[in-house]
Amino acid sequence: MKHNLTPNNLFLCLDEILAQQSINPLTLNPQKSLITSFAELENLITATTTDIQFLMALQETLELILRAQLQNFPENIFWDFDFMVSSILRQALVADEGAVAFLETFSHKMVLLIELFGIRKEIRFRYVHDFMYGFDWARWVQKDPETRAHSEPFSLVFLDYLLVKGEQILQRISHGQMTSYKLCSTGFRNPFDFSREPEDERRLLIYLASEQLIPVATWNWNARPVWNKPFQEMRQQIALKLNIQPQRH
């Protein structure tokens, strides 16, 4: 990596995008109410590399992902990015094909994935929480821990798995075979029995975070992802404990 002088506030425009969309950037960090800003994340990034070409490519990657999330998950509630950014940075700097080429591949797959599961396609999930906070990843690892436990929550191999899974779900929806992904009365799909209306989703995830029952603490730059807990079952149990009502269809 070359080390060059970098312009200040390269990532500030990402915070401005959130502000322009009137997003209240809530965090699941039990010690805070709002996310780490992208301007703050820039300081962590540039502590690792100051290569201007790479930084500009990373900023562009994050902007593509952020805009895709805003367009396809406009009702998303929690917006932590810390661990995802540190994971992208780590993977890019050791990628065989080179850091910038890795970023191009990563952003392409991420945007496809977000579009596949969001409100513009038939899957129509309401939030990106299950992906960003590792619930999908933990479930995937549990099915084959010997092979998958060393794959990061934001690894290309896991993104590829989700892309295939998403296409399979779309096919099954088109053939009327998706009994577990029925459309709710609100027009979103919910694979859980309990309500995921915004206030219910907020209460449940905040409680899970306070009890350290989130697989990936995405609000933590140095998070240590955890897959070997029964996250799905615990989520169901906590929903009952919090008296969250069944989902209306």
Confidence of residue 184 (pLDDT cuts 50, 70, 90): confident
> What mean pLDDT comes out for the span 164-179?
86
How distant, in Å, are the alpha carbons of 16, 126, 133, 247 from that of 121? 27, 12, 22, 21
pLDDT exceeds cutoff 50 at 4: no
Among candidates 137, 159, 149, 244, which has minimal Cα distance to 200? Answer: 244
Under DSSP, the state recorded for 78 is B
Q: Residue 189: beta bridge partners?
A: 183
pLDDT exceeds cutoff 60 at 7: no
pLDDT per position as a tens digit, 62-84:
999 999 999 999 999 999 999 99
Contacts of 6 (CB under 8 A, 6+ apart): 46, 50, 52, 55
Place of tokens 């296409």: 167
Contacts of 126 (CB under 8 A, 6+ apart): 73, 75, 76, 119, 186, 188, 190, 196, 201
CA pair distance 140, 127, nearest whole angstrom: 19
Phi-psi region at 9: left, alpha or beta (left = phi > 0; alpha = psi -120 to 50)? left
**Token pair for residue 223?**
């998070």
Q: What is the dihedral of CA 124, 128, 133, 135, to 10 degrees?
A: 0
pLDDT exceeds cutoff 60 at 5: no
pTM for this model (two decimals): 0.94
The number of residues in the chain equals: 249
**Token pair for residue 70?**
């805003």
> What mean pLDDT comes out for the span 29-55?
97
| Helical packing angle, 231-241 and 198-210, nearest 10° | 120
- The angle formed by the CA atoms of residues 84, 88 and 90, to the nearest 5 degrees, is 115
CA pair distance 8, 147, nearest whole angstrom: 42
pLDDT exceeds cutoff 90 at 237: yes
Q: What percent of the chain has pLDDT over 70?
A: 94
In three-state secondary structure terms, 75 is: coil
- 26 versus 193: the higher-pLDDT residue is 26
Among candidates 138, 247, 230, 241, which has minimal Cα distance to 186? Answer: 247
pLDDT exceeds cutoff 70 at 196: yes
Determine phi and psi for 78, rounding to 5 degrees: -105, 135
> What mean pLDDT comes out for the span 229-235?
96
Least confidently predicted of 24-38, 125-139, 178-192: 178-192
CA pair distance 205, 95, nearest whole angstrom: 34
Q: Residue 34: beta bridge partners?
A: 26
